[in-house]
Amino acid sequence: DDAILIRVLKQQKDLGNTSGAGWKQQVWHAVAAALSTSEASKGAPKTAAKCSDHWSNVSLKKNFMDVHALRTASGFGWDDGRKLVTASESIWQDKIARMPQAKQWKTTPFPLYDDIDYLVHSVVATG
């Protein structure tokens, strides 16, 4: 579902359907429609409101911001092939002690990073 949502958001951004720092309401209807017609979509039917919430509040943008913060932090790097944040064990331990939510990104790839970066570039303050 995340990949479908991101694909539709990229299409909508290319069409100019953004509004300030967000998305026009019609975008969320397009996302919900794409998910409802996709055989790859899982779970309950998606509404425009649920799609918007998933993007903004639940995981995608938040996860992007966490990964971006790690990726750009001193001592960290990025394995583009594996889409994984990299650092030495001591750097990871220090960061996890100060930012417990970072622990998941030590071993969890974030394959949608580049696509979400395209979507939020110049919209979300990342630094």
- pLDDT tens for residues 35-67? 988 877 777 888 999 999 889 877 898 899 999
Token pair recorded at residue 96: 């996890």
Cα 97 to the chain's mean position, in Å? 24
Q: Quick one: angle between helices 60-71 and 2-14, nearest 10?
A: 80
Token pair recorded at residue 118: 């395209």
Those residues with Cβ within 8 angstroms of residue 17's Cβ, 6 or more apart along the chain or in another chain: 23, 24, 26, 27
Asked if residues 85 and 104 have their Cβ atoms less than 8 Å apart, the reply is no
Domain definitions of the chain by residue range: 1-54, 59-127
pLDDT tens digits along 70-87:
999 999 999 999 999 999
